[in-house]
């Protein structure tokens, strides 16, 4: 029985009710004390204080019962009309409860007054205070329902956030699973193309690819990785590309110091470089030069990849519909940063430029250095 009661008892709510009614008792008692002093009424101040404290204690005991009952009724999804009648009954019963217990306590403290009990006097006291007790009860019940409503809203909000987080992670994992095969197929196609030209280079590329895949698989479950880890994967990929294209491809990396521990989306840069080599070569662009700049601008990390290959003929919205790599990057950025990032791709001064700007967030290993 006690265990069942504990299930419906909320200590925090009882604390709120106790504090709220204590404020009422202080205000009510202060008013009566002031009026008694003003009218020079003879007052036993010890009895006066004791009576108000007893009233506070009895009301709280009664409201503990009401709070448990309310929680129980809500959990059982009792019809609103029944709940209304129950509270209406208790709103009148609270007065009889407090007056009855107060009378018992008074008779225990002063046994000589026991014979002076009069039901008529008790009834008059009950009627005199019925409106006050009704307002007190309804105010506290309103507080109880407000508390449970806000608590339910908070729990619902937390549940929604957790659900959104789970959906976001699931979405990111799906996008990553989409990215890795796309990257792998492109690389294998490159190795296949090279086999008829240089079998030794093809063998070296297979070895490099196995090393690269090992790094990729080590980070496959991480949505965000340190920039230095991202660059390790990128450099292995660049080595594969340079093996295939030899002197026809030059890639330059310019990394601002102090950004090694900044968190970036896993495999963010590799697909951009892949697009540069895939679409950059043409009849007028036999030799390709790619420059990768990574730097800090205000509170953002900027990743800028430019190549001197074929100029773009479509805008970003059209390109997103065509390519898996670029659309995958955008969807992952949407999931991770919402609207707090920028992605652009455009022609400028004979170069094709892809630029990504994301918020700077340091990993725990970087944060620890400051302590």
For 63, 148, 232, 274, the CA distances from 214, given in Å and listed in that order, are 64, 52, 12, 19
DSSP H helices, 219-314, are 227-245, 270-280
* Half-sphere exposure in the Cβ direction for 214 (13 Å, CA): 7
- Structure tokens of 228? 């230095």
Rounded to whole angstroms, the Cα distance separating 143 from 24 reads 14
Per-residue pLDDT of the chain (371 residues; tens, 9 = 90+): 556 666 777 888 888 888 888 888 888 889 888 888 888 877 778 877 888 888 888 888 888 888 888 888 877 788 888 888 888 888 887 877 787 777 777 766 666 555 455 677 777 877 887 888 888 888 888 888 888 888 888 877 777 666 566 555 555 555 455 555 666 676 777 777 777 777 777 777 787 777 777 766 666 667 788 999 889 888 888 887 777 777 678 889 999 999 999 999 888 888 888 888 777 666 566 678 899 999 999 889 999 999 888 888 777 777 777 766 677 788 888 888 888 999 998 898 888 899 999 999 888 655 444 43
What does the pLDDT read at residue 195?
A: 75
* Torsion of the alpha carbons at 274, 276, 281 and 282, rounded to the nearest 10: 130
Given CATH 3.30.390.50, say whether it is the number of domain 160-368: no
Which among 211, 265, 257 is positioned nearest to 238, based on CA atoms?
211
Q: What angle do CA 306, 250, 206 make, to 5 degrees?
A: 110
Q: What angle do CA 139, 143, 148 make, to 5 degrees?
A: 150
Mapped onto helix, strand or coil, the DSSP state of residue 262 is strand
Which among 184, 194, 58, 73 is positioned nearest to 133, based on CA atoms?
58
Q: What is the largest CA-CA distance in the chain?
A: 118
H/E stretch holding 261 reads: none
Task: Break the chain into its structural domains and give their ranges.
Answer: 2-117, 160-368
- Please give, one letter per residue, the 3-state secondary structure of 195-231: HCCCHHHHHHHHHHHHHHHHHHHHCCCCCEEEHHHHH
- Please give, one letter per residue, the 3-state secondary structure of 86-117: HHHHHHHHHHHHHHHHHHHHHHHHCHHHHHHC
What does the pLDDT read at residue 302?
A: 95
Rounded to whole angstroms, the Cα distance separating 316 from 323 reads 11
* Torsion of the alpha carbons at 108, 111, 115 and 118, rounded to the nearest 10: -30
Pair 96, 126: CB distance under 8 Å: yes
């Amino acid at each position: 029985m006690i265990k069942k009661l504990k299930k419906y008892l909320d200590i925090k709510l009882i604390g709120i009710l106790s504090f709220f009614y204590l404020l009422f008792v202080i205000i009510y008692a202060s008013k009566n004390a002031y009026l008694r002093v003003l009218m020079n009424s003879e007052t036993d101040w010890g009895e006066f204080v004791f009576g108000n404290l007893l009233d506070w204690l009895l009301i709280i005991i009664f409201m503990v019962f009401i709070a448990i009952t309310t929680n129980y009724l809500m959990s059982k999804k009792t019809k609103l009309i029944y709940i209304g009648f129950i509270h209406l009954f208790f709103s009148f019963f609270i007065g009889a409860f407090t007056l009855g217990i107060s009378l018992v306590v008074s008779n225990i403290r002063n046994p000589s007054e026991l014979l002076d009990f009069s039901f008529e006097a008790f009834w008059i006291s009950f009627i005199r205070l019925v409106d006050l007790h009704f307002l007190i009860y309804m105010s506290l019940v309103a507080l109880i329902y407000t508390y449970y409503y806000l608590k339910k809203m908070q729990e619902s909000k937390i549940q929604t956030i957790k659900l959104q987080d789970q959906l976001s992670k699931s979405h990111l994992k799906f996008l990553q699973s989409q990215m890795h095969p796309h990257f792998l197929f492109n690389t294998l196609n490159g190795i296949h193309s090279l086999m008829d030209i240089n079998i030794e280079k093809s063998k070296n590329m297979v070895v490099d690819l196995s090393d690269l895949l090992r790094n990729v698989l080590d980070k496959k479950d991480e949505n965000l990785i340190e920039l230095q880890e991202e660059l390790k994967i990128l450099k292995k990929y660049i080595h594969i590309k340079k093996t295939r294209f030899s002197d026809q491809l030059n890639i330059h990396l310019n990394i601002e110091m102090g950004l090694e521990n900044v968190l970036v989306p896993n495999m963010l840069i590799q697909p951009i470089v892949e697009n540069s080599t895939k679409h950059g070569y043409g009849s007028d662009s036999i030799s390709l030069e790619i420059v990768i700049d990574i730097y800090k601008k205000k509170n953002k990390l900027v990743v800028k990849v430019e190549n001197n290959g074929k100029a773009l003929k479509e805008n970003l919205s059209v390109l997103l519909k065509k390519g898996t790599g670029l659309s995958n990057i955008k969807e992952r950025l949407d999931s991770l940063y919402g609207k707090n990032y920028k992605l652009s791709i455009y022609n400028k001064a004979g170069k094709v430029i892809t630029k990504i700007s994301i918020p700077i967030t340091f990993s725990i290993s970087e944060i620890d250095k400051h302590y």
